[in-house]
Amino acid sequence: MLAMVAPTTAGPKKNKKESKTEERYQEIDNYDFLYTGGEYDFDNSYSYNFDVVSMENVMDEAFSHLGARYRHGAKGPYAFDCSGFTSYVYGQIGVQLSPSSRDQYASNMPISNRELQRGDLVFFSGRSGRGGVGHVGIVVDVDEHTGSFNFIHASVSRGVMVNNSNEAYYRSRYIGARRVK
């Protein structure tokens, strides 16, 4: 698993694209023996097969919105509802997801909890508890020993934040996971 580089506040402020590119080059410098020949084009590196670089783009984009407020029906970038958040994040790397959590659940590839990995979509029933899909988030990481996972999502009460699947509220409402196709 790749470690996330924490943003620093010291020094001159860089734009988002410069910061992401610099972090990727720092990461590659650690493994430069694996790469031979010319420059690697990060801007064209992602595709629907979600390699490591594009999944880092998904995570970078998702975490850049931590603390953004929740607003029903909002699709970003300053406020989101849950499915607006997931569709916005994936949209920033060129992957179109429906702005509906039910459609995201229905149209992406079902996976078991044993298959969960970073970037997968996780679904929960709504607050009414009627059982249908009512909430969606993006997996941040998975504990291989317990199967629990952290996920980033737009929560009604606190906006974009990270929670754990073992928290009672989410554990009792978990429906399943999907891999973005």
For 1, the token pair is: 């698993």
Pairing of strands 174-179, 159-164: unpaired
Q: Of residues 82, 120, 143, 145, which has the active-site annotation? A: 82
The answer to whether 29 is a known catalytic residue is no
CA dist 155 and 29 (Å) reads 37
CA dist 58 and 8 (Å) reads 20
Kindly state the DSSP code that residue 42 receives in the 8-state scheme.
G
> 174 has which bridge partners?
124
Residues 6+ apart with CB under 8 A from 89: 58, 61, 62, 65, 138
Q: Of residues 65, 81, 120, 135, which has the active-site annotation? A: 135
CA dist 106 and 181 (Å) reads 12
The answer to whether 135 is a known catalytic residue is yes
User: Catalytic residues, which ones?
Assistant: 82, 135, 141
